[in-house]
Amino acid sequence: MRHPDLNIKNITVKESPAYRVRVESWESINPKGLFSVDIIQECLNQDGNVDSSSTYNFHMTRDEIKVLADGLMSV
């Protein structure tokens, strides 16, 4: 369970009738400057409800997130 004071940012990267990819991120309370980034892949059933999901968690600094974003934009 996440602390209620966390400022969690949530974006949907891609969504189709069969699956969805979301990213959630928030800054760690300690140490400062470290961010937790969850990349969540969800498989959706015929009704649009989540049937199964996989979460990949990374801990990165703001500079590392920028390098990742720049690399993704160059693809």
Closest Cα partner for 56 from 18, 25, 31?
25
Q: What does the alpha-carbon distance between residue 59 and residue 28 come to, in Å, rounded to a whole number?
A: 9
Confidence at residue 6, expressed as pLDDT on a 0 to 100 scale: 84
pLDDT at 4: 80
Determine, yes or no, domain membership for 1: no
Q: Is residue 14 part of a domain?
A: yes
Number of domains in the chain: 1
Is pLDDT of 1 > 80? Answer: no
CATH number, residue 20:
3.10.450
pLDDT at residue 58 in the model: 96
Domain-located, residue 43: yes
Residue type, 31: P
To the nearest whole number, what is the mean pLDDT of the chain? Answer: 93
- CA angle 20/35/57 to nearest 5° reads 45
* Domain residue limits at 54: 9-73
Give the pLDDT confidence of 6-42 residue by residue, as tens digits. 889 999 999 999 999 999 999 988 899 999 999 999 9
The answer to whether residue 20 is domain-embedded is yes
